[in-house]
Amino acid sequence: RTGRLRIDLRRCQRRLATFADVRYVRYRPVGAARGDGDPRWDLLDACARLGRSDSPSENTSPFGGAFFRQVHQQAAKTGSLDLSLLTLGGRAIAFAYAYHHQGSVCVLQLGSTPEFADETASPVLLADMLKDSFQRGDSTVDLGAARLPAARPWLTHMVKCYRCRHYRIGAA
């Protein structure tokens, strides 16, 4: 990464350290087959609080829906869940919600508290997450779904993505 990114990252880390005890939490259960399929609803609820917007038109957080909660539970059960939190004095201030499979991590959503909307917490979270991912042996971290400016400096390349939709004949 560029020297500017490293300087900015150290500045963000120093700024966060002045507030309180900063901790990085990574939750990646190995799955129910190995006795570890706990969905950790407390961590999901922390992500939901951070991902929620006060404006109904901007509230795109999927965390509250019943379908999403079922998918979350199944991901924990199968060992595909990958959840990262950055806490400040025990309070969650940033998150990355992802799924992983065979060394690939796909980040679905990133978020942080409004107090750290100046992009202080997100770069620190991403740096810790990437470092931890590669220590675990992950080969790819897809930040494509994470539409945060903090994710851009970490990208090594962009891949064009296409979407195909199918509608039943006669569907209104």
Using only the alpha carbons of the chain, give its radius of gyration. 17
117 confidence band (pLDDT: 50, 70, 90): low
142: Cβ contacts below 8 Å, ≥ 6 apart: 104, 105, 106, 107
Can you give the pTM of this predicted structure? 0.80
Q: Give the lowest-confidence range in 12-16, 44-48, 96-100, 115-119.
A: 115-119
Mean pLDDT, the chain, whole residue set: 82
- The side-by-side arrangement of strands in the sheet containing 22-27 is 22-27, 81-88, 91-101, 104-112, 140-142
CB 110 within 8 A of CB 146: yes
Helix, strand and coil content of the chain, in percent to the nearest 5, comes to: 40, 25, 40
What average pLDDT does range 19-37 have in this prediction?
Answer: 87
What average pLDDT does range 40-61 have in this prediction?
Answer: 68
pLDDT score for 99 = 94
How many whole angstroms separate alpha carbon 56 and alpha carbon 164? 28
Is residue 41 predicted with pLDDT exceeding 80?
yes
- Percent of the chain at pLDDT > 70 equals 85
83 confidence band (pLDDT: 50, 70, 90): very high
